[in-house]
Copies of this chain bind each other. A is one copy, B any other.
Amino acid sequence: MTSDVAPQTAIDLLRRMERIRLLEEAIAERYPEEKMRCPTHLSTGQETVPSAIGVALRRDDQVFSTHRSHAHYVGKGGDLGALVAELYGKAGGCCGGRGGSMHLSDRSVGFVASTAIVANSIPLAVGAALANRLLGNGRVGCALFGDAAVEEGVFSESVNFAALRALPVLFVCENNQYSVFTHLRDRQPAGRRIHEMVAAMGVRTVVGDGNDALAVLAAVEDAAAHARNRKGPVFLEFATYRWREHCGPFYDNDLGYRTAGEFEAWRARDPVARLEGELVSRGDLDAAGLRSLQESVRAEVAAAFDVAEASPFPPAADAYRELFVAQDGMPSQGSHTE
C-alpha cells in the first residue's frame, strides 16, 4: 500500500510535516520572548495525522479543529504568516488577533476553524456534513480531536447523529494518551479501545500507527472516499505522542507525570525522520533534495515570523466591531413589514 503513493504526493506529505515540525520548534524557541501572549499547544511529534488530512482531503473539504490547532491548520495548507501573526495578536493574524493560538481559520484552504473547548467543534463538522449533503456539493466534513474529547458527551451525540443519517464526515482522533498531565488510565476504563467503542455506535472505524505517515495517508484517503461516496461517516484513531508540554514551549518530562523511557521510545520513532528515510529509500528524494526541501520550509517559517513582526497591532477599537451581520440573508418575495 505504502508504495502506491506517488512521489509528488509523498513529498507533499513530507513537506507539510516539515512545516509543522519546523514551525512548532520555532514557536517554542521564540515563545520566551513574550511576544506571543496567548496559550500555545504545540504538536511536535504529532505531525503525521494533520499532514495526511491535508493531502488526502480536497481543498474545499471542511476541517474543524481544537486547542492543539497549529498543526491542523498548517497540515491543511493554512497560511503560515497569518498563523504566526495571530499568535502575536497582530492585524495580519488569521483572526485579526481576536482568537489567539486556539482560534485559527483559513477558509481559503478548507480549514474552517479551531475552537478551544474540548470536543466543541465535533458537532460543527457534522453540521457542515449535513449541509454538504443537502447542498450536494460533494464535500466532506472532518473533525480532528484528541483522546480526551471522546469523554465528552457531545462526541457520542455527534457520532450517533452522523451515523443515523450516514453523513459525509470523518472523525479523526489523535490519541496521544494524555489530556494535559492525565493519562488515559485515569480517564477511561482499563481495556477500553476507543475505536471499538465507536464501532459499536455504528460507524466504520480505522485504527493505525500515527507515526507511519504513508499508512495514515492511505487510511485517510480510503475513509474520505467512503464518506464522499455516501457510505457514511468514518472514525479514525491514530496512536501518536506529544513531545513537549501540553501548553507552552518547553519539555516537561521532569514533572514526573510520564517517564523518560516512554518519551524516549516515542521520540525514537520520530515520524518526520521516518518519512524522510522512507522517501530517500524509495528514491523519491535524494539527500540533496531533502536538504533543499527542509531549507525551503525553514525559509517559509522564517518569513512567517517576519510577516508577524511586520504586521501592525490592530487598533483597540477593532475589538468593538463585527459582532453581528447587518444584512439579512433570506430572499424576500413581496416581503412587507409592519
Contacts and interface: CB of A to CB of B under 8 A. Distances in A.
Interface string A173-191: 0000000000000111111
Contact of A157 (B152, B160, B186, B189): B152
Number of copies: 2
Interface stretch (A195-203, A214-222, A273-281): A195-203
Nearest to A199: B200
A153 interface: yes
A27 interface: no
A17 to B, nearest CB: 33
Nearest to A185: B164
A295 interface: no
A151 interface: yes
Contact of A164 (B154, B187, B200): B187
Contacts of A200: 193, 196-197, 199-201
Contacts of A191: 202
A192 interface: yes
Nearest to A186: B164
A199 B193 CA distance: 11
Contacts of A203: 189
A163 interface: yes
A153 B157 contact: yes
**The 10 residue pairs across chains A and B that have the minimum distance between CB atoms:** A153-B153, A200-B200, A189-B202, A163-B189, A156-B156, A197-B200, A153-B157, A164-B189, A192-B202, A196-B200
Given A152-B153, A200-B200, 18 more contacts: A151-B160, A152-B157, A153-B153, A153-B156, A153-B157, A155-B156, A156-B156, A160-B189, A164-B187, A164-B188, A164-B189, A189-B202, A189-B203, A192-B202, A197-B197, A197-B200, A197-B202, A200-B201
Interface of A: 151-157, 160, 163-164, 186-193, 196-197, 199-203
9 contacts: A152-B153, A153-B154, A156-B156, A164-B189, A189-B202, A193-B200, A196-B200, A199-B200, A200-B201
